[in-house]
């Protein structure tokens, strides 16, 4: 498959999965999941865990915060190297203004990394719940029109790879 064919395939699947312009429950759920992967949300929550948690949770929060920040730098470096434009659309203006590039998806990378680290560092039930959440965040980013499927795939693969590396380094 050549690059043009891949882009057409990507655009076709993006359009099929898109609900951004369709009012209803599915759109509302997609919006909620799309935002739930925001870095500020996770950094705030982990900061609160660090501030008010017991020492074991404080250590875990610091490791997660460090991994999120390093992954963000890696994702932004790739995005500003490749410079793939986001799909056309109105939803997600904050993402479109602050980060006009879509490849790879930072939300998908972050969600996948959080899920894999939760599986490796925490109770299995939390890891499994966050794995389902990561899948829903990733699909929601396509559904809301801010990413193509290949952006998500690349983000998930990057997040999983980086998560395993972080685990091995921080073990």
Q: Given this model, what pLDDT does residue 19 score?
A: 83
Q: Given this model, what pLDDT does residue 128 score?
A: 97
Q: Given this model, what pLDDT does residue 1 score?
A: 57
Over residues 5-53, the pLDDT tens digits come to 888 888 888 888 888 888 999 999 999 999 999 999 999 999 999 999 9
pTM: 0.92
Q: Break the chain into its structural domains and give their ranges.
A: 10-170
Neighbours of 26 (CB within 10 A): 12
Mean pLDDT score of the chain, rounded to an integer? Answer: 92
Over residues 103-125, the pLDDT tens digits come to 999 999 999 999 999 999 989 99
Q: Given this model, what pLDDT does residue 3 score?
A: 72
Dist CA 161 CA 9 (whole Å): 25
Dist CA 160 CA 155 (whole Å): 9
Select the more confidently predicted residue: 3 or 13.
13
Q: Which residues of 55-85 are buried (b: 16+ CB within 10 A; e: fewer)?
A: eeeeebbebbbebbeebeebbeebbeeeebe
Q: How many helices (DSSP H) and strands (DSSP E) are in the chain?
A: 8, 0
């Amino acid at each position: 498959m050549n690059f043009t064919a891949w882009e057409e395939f990507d655009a076709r699947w993006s359009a099929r999965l898109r609900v951004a312009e369709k009012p209803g429950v599915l759109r509302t759920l997609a919006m909620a999941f799309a935002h739930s992967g925001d870095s500020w949300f996770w950094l705030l929550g982990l900061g609160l865990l660090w501030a008010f948690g017991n020492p074991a949770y404080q250590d875990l929060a610091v490791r997660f915060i460090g991994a999120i920040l390093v992954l963000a730098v890696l994702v932004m470096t790739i995005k500003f190297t490749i410079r793939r434009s986001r799909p056309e659309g109105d939803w997600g203006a904050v993402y479109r203004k602050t980060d006009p590039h879509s490849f790879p998806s930072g939300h998908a990378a972050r969600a996948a990394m959080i899920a894999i680290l939760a599986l490796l560092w925490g109770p299995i039930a939390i890891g499994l719940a966050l794995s389902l959440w990561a899948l829903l965040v990733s699909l929601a980013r396509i559904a809301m029109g801010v990413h193509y499927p290949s952006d998500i795939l690349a983000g998930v693969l990057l997040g999983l790879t980086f998560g395993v590396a972080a685990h091995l380094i921080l073990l």
